[in-house]
Structures are given as structure tokens and as C-alpha cells.
Structure 1
Amino acid sequence: MAIRFSVLLLGIVCLFGVQRAGAERAAPNDAQLHSAAGTLEKTTKAGWVQFDQREFMFFAAGKVWEEAQSTCMDYDAHLASVHSDREDAFIKRLIWNHVGSDRPSWLGGYNSHVVPSRWFWTDESAFDFNSWTPGQPDGSGHCLQTNFKGGWDDLVCERNLPFVCARGISRGAERAAPNDAQPHSAAGPLEKNTKAGWIQFDQREFMFFAAGKVWEEAQSTCMDYDANLASVHSDREDAFIKRLIWNHVGSDRPSWLGGYNSPVVPSRWYWTDGSVFDFNSWTQGQPDGSGHCLQTNFKGGWDDLVCERNLPFVCARGISRGAERAAPNDAQLHSAAGADAAVGGDLKLSAAAGTLEKNTKAGWIQFDQREFMFFAAGKVWEEAQSTCMDYDAHLASVHSDREDAFIKRLIWNHVGSDRPSWLGGYNSHVVPSRWYWTDASVFDFNSWTQGQPDGSGHCLQTNFKGGWDDLDCNQNLPFVCARGKRRGV
């Protein structure tokens, strides 16, 4: 009876708040929204809101424009294009409903460095509407933000802003991709690919990403596009890649390529795409053993660098050369149920968890009926889950002591410590005592540290004083993904 009274009281308070605001407004990502934009209705996919013929989602975590666009593409979407006052009003209301303010946020507009007055949308629709604030654009940047003094503004693309993605029906004719002037070099014929941002050279397509990432995250980003960090097989390809970088940033910016060596045999180098390491362009005196990952544009050539440095990077996709070969983390793994074996000559798994064996895809480790991967780069919980979904996976659920022990050993083997890391657990803001897994399996096991959960957060981390803890979801932590057969309904 007390619960029903509380719910009724909450409804009255919410209704009173809405009436005071002068318009109906539902909770973020949930109920129907009404504004001057027209009728909005929630779609069946969590977080996406349908307006007219498209679905929209607001992401509150700030990112540079390029990374924001990359995140949208993870959802088969783009940073939002806008084609009418109604759409513009809807997007502003969507932002307000999430953060309670007119927060400046990225949209999908960008201009050409060659012709700054020409603006485009990332979804390749026609730029047939604008809502520029008076005096804008003023040439201060190449990317489009909304909610600048009530309208749009051109801003430097490296600013971290929240953003709005949209997917569905695209409008207008096809147009040139970002950075659409063709690179010119002695490398050979280049032609723009029809997919935004990719440049074709010989039998492969290449894309430069200006936002700095550690080598592992850079490779992960490339894989989101069915690509790898670029391999290089000739002076022509090497010259092309250097020119591609120059055309984007106007300098010989040091950037990641796909080369890496083995900690066991440092003189042996590999490419992430599995092709033969049949060409090199090492700067004199390199590699000198200072790192395990390959950067270009170090004093004109290549260098071995610590993999944790944040650098821009070049991805490539298409025809791979040479015979297939083992990828990092590819030796078979066995736990206490079998013999220990090295991963990439380095990692050993020896938990009482059971039999582990390598999956055919680099980095995934099979345990029982599922595959697991640890990501060392810290992300907020929502971004970590998004990264897992890029691999058709979820943040890991746990259903037994064996699985719990395996996951803790997996983390230890990567970072050499019991690093607190995200798992897939989350609770309801309405009923905090109720916990769920992102893979929709039954929450039939727990390993809470004594005194936890204590209501300090809504997302589940492991390795908190040996067990689990509820933590603020906006903390940056490494994380474990899992995919395959799940338990329960």
C-alpha cells in the first residue's frame, strides 16, 4: 500500500512539474515527447527517439567531432543533419530533455578547407537548411555545433562536446566526402571512394583519423570499419600515406601504423592485417627497442614507440597481402584445466576457471560457451558497452564463481594487477535494488564486496576490494566484453 501511495504521489509531483514548465516533457530516452517540432515517439530500441522518418539519439559524453561521428557510425547512423525548422526545434528539445539546458552539441555539418563557404552533412544529404546564429559562420572552425546563442556556429573540431546522432532516411543527392580534395604525391593514382572519408590507392582504401588514441584503441577503431591500422609494402604506399597525413593536418604528424613486434622476439615485426612484413622505412637507428608499436613520420621515417602514446592514425581496408599468420594474443590458452600457454609470447592464463582456448579472432578468449576480451583503455560505462556492441558483444555478465574467477584472471594477465573494471551490470533508478545484465541474461549470481551495493552508483565494477561494487557510471574504467551463448531469459 505504501509503495502504491508513493508511486501515486510521484505521479502527481511530476504532473505538477510539467504543468509549471508549460509543456509536457517526458524523461530522457523514454516517454513520448512533445514540442514545437511536432509529434515525437519513442522507438523500440533503447535511447533512440523517432521523429518523422528518422531516429535520433543524444550522447552526453563529450567527444571531438570526428570521434562523435565515429560513435554514430557504430550505430549505423551519422551526426544529425537538419532540414527544417521543425527538425531544428526537435533536436534542441531532445538535448534539453536530457541535460536540462541548451547545451552546445555537435551536429553533422562540416565545411571544406578548400572552399570554407561550402557546408556539407556527414550523411551526404543536401545542405538545404541552416540556422546560423547572426554573424556565423565566422571562419573560427570547420565543424558545426548547435545551441550557440540559440543557433548554429562553426567551431574547431577538436573541442569535446556532446552530440546528436540520426539514422534512417537520408535526403538529397550524393556529395563529396570530408577532406574531398584528392591527395597528390608521387605515390600513384588516387581516387576518392564513395564512402565518406575513405581514399582509394591501388587496391586498398585508406582513412586518416586526427584524434589521438593509444595504439590498441586506434586498431579497435579501424576494426569498427572492417579495416586495420595500415600496413605498408612499398615506397609508393609509404609516400602516399605520408601525403595523406599532410593533406589532413598540414604537417608530417607522427601517426600510428599497423606494425607491432613480439615482446619475446623484438626483432620480429608484424602487421595487424596479417600481411607479410616485406618492406620497411625505419629512420636511421630505429627500431631501438623503446617500444612495441610502429609510428610513421619520426624524423622522416618509422620508429618503435610505446603503445600507450596518443597519436593520430591511418586505417586501411581491402586486399591484404601475404599469407595468413598469427595475430597478437593468438597462441592457444589453457588454464588450470590444461597447460599454460603464452598469448603473443607474453600472457598466461592460469585460473581455476576451466578450459580456455583461443578464438580465431585476435584477442578473444573462449571460456565455456562464450568469448571474452579485456579492453585496457578507460571509458565511461555507456561508452564501454557501445564498444562491446561494436563486436556483437556486451559488457560481461557473470553467472558463477568459475566465471568470476576467470574474468579476474583475464584482467590480471593484461595489466598485472586487480584493476577495477566495468562489467555489464546496472540497476534501475526506480528500483535500485533490482540489478540487470546488458546481455539480458538472468542476474542469478553476485560477488558483491561486503557492504555493497551501497547506492553510490548505478553501474557494476569488479575488483573493488576483491569483489563487486556499484559505481558512478561516468567513471573511466577498463572493461570486459563477452559474446556468444548467454544464460537465462
Structure 2
Amino acid sequence: MDKHSEAFSLKQISEMAQKLQFFLLLIALCSISECVQRQYHFINEMKTWTEAQRYCREKYTDLATVDSMNDTTELMKIVNNVRLWIGLERKWQWSSGDPVLFLNWGDKQPDGKDECAFMRNGEWHDWPCNKDCFFVCYNRSRGLVFVNERKNWTDAQSHCRLHYTDLVSVRNQNENQQLEKFINDSPKPEPGSDVWIGLFRDSWQWSDQSNYSFSNWKLGEPNNVGDHENCTAVEKDAQGQWIDISCDHQLPFVCHEDKLIVIQQNLSWSEALRYCRQNHVDLVSVQSVEMQYEVMSDVKKASTEAVWLGLRFSHILGIWFWVSGETVCYQNWAPGNGTSEENCEATVRSGAVQSGGDQTWISRPETHKLNFICSKY
């Protein structure tokens, strides 16, 4: 071997050693990375569940969602030894299975005590399902049908399903006004009578509409004592475990503020990075499957087919990295993206997440104009 070949080989060995050290560092960092999706805020004011929900939506994002043990740990860092509201309640749904996209509750409604809904003067109220009311059915061919008989909610539902399609659903303000006029114009013995609609309370759901998959109930809970324990509190001295209680109790509570925000401006990757750092913290880093779920939820608000992440390719090191300094431990590339062949291109490339489909990551030239996601913490 000549001197030039020997020098070249030593240089190669040195570079390989440096890269090996770098990747060993990545492995070490990946093993300790955490994902905190939300910022929690303890509010030491006594409110009912509905009042607490309204407060959180005005001041922050919503009443606290706690959907992992990591969230529980973060929550317990700011509060201990007190019973408090979180954002889990038995959700309202339509008998027909239509999504609940619109609500028109009257003052101080729902009060959290009852499971079925009726309309009075265009506004909705909750009431025990065993009470007798007139009701409105929906029929695919005839439209709205007023039934001039008093039945409890379950019998009214059965009647509508047997003779028509189902109890009526209300999907928006226009339909609510049409239903109110229809009821007022229908012949009935008592003007202004309460009328069942197809809304009832059933399974658990978070106030921010997150899926209810993780639970941390105290032993024996939820037990729904008195059939009106429809809201959830973290129990005092229970290591963050939950109990179900009546929503009209007055308790302190915890709000959450989302860590992420979708910016509906079309900017290049570098412009998006500058915007996030000037107005928030940084372009988002996706370090775990939990954070990916958060991103998947948020990108639905985007107006472009993909959304910039804080993901960048280094031609010098031959790796993808997060601009916030975290390592790329978790990966969610779409097929054909993030590959070594693609990364050999001279074009400067950055990472984005698809706003539709499987919402996997894709590689794009950094000059493309896309919406983007900023991290707020």
C-alpha cells in the first residue's frame, strides 16, 4: 500500500469512527426523549364542570385532556392533594348516529344531571329520559313528523324507528330554526310544550373531542351513583386517578393549552422556520407516536396538501434531523420518502406531513410554499 492509499484509508477510518460516535449519541438521546403534548394550567377557582369548560375555552384551549401516563405525570407536577375537574364527560350523541356538530343548549344547560334532550322555544334542555313528552321523528321520504303523543325518550325512539326512520337530529342553526318553526306550527294541546329530540348522553369523551382510549379510573369507578355522575374529577390523594361525579359540584380545575398550532400561511420551509421562532418557539419536532397523533389531529385544519415540520436533511452528515435539536428517533416516512437515494439529490430538502391520507411524512424541496406547524412550548 502506498503512502497516499494509507493516508486515505486512515481518513476513512477516522470519518467512520466519528459517524459511529454520532449514531451512538443518537441512540442514547432517543432512549430518554419524552413527548409533552400539552401545557397544563391549574385554576384555583370553584366552578361547575360546564363553567370550568367555558373558562378554559376562553382563556386556553380546553378543560384538561389526560390521555397517557405521561400526561398524568405532568398534571401531578402542578397540583396535588385536591379534587379537581378534568375534561372527560359522558358525550352527547344523536340517536340516528349523525355526528354532533352543533349544540344549542339553553341557559345553564346541560346541568349534568340527566341523559336525554328536549327542545323548548328553540333551545335544548336535558331531562330524565323516563319523563313523558311529545316528540318529532324524521322520515327520509316525508321529512319531519310531529307525534302528538306523550312518551318517554326510549319509547319515542322506538316509535320513530318502527314507523319512520328515527328521532330527529339537528346538525346546524338553520335546521334548529326550521325544527322550532315546525313544532310551533304543529297542532298540539299545549302551546310551547317540551318536545323530545334525538340527543342523548352515552359513552365517555374528552371536551376537546379527543378519542377516549386511555383511562385512569380509581378502583370501583366509574360507578354513576344516582344515574347522574356524568363528569370526571381527579380524586384527592389518589395519584392522579379519576372518579365520576355530578357535573354541578363546584371544584377547582385544570385547563390545557395545546403545544402545537397550525399556521395557515403558505411559506417556504425557511420562512416558516423564521415565523415560528419569531412568534412562537420553533417548527414542530415529532419525537414519538403520541406527538404524531397530535400532529395528525391538527393538520386537518391545514389548507395545503402537506404541512412543514421542523425536519431537515443534512448532506454533510447524511442524516435527517430536527431543527430544535432533538434527534430523529421516531420515524413515520411515506414509502419512497426519506430514502438514501432521494437524499443524494442536490436540492435542499425538508420534511412535511401530509394533511390527508395516512398523514405520513414526505420530503419536499424547501422552496415549496406550504402551511406549517409551530410548537408553542
TM-score, normalised to structure 1, is: 0.27
Whichever of the two has the greater Rg, that structure is 2
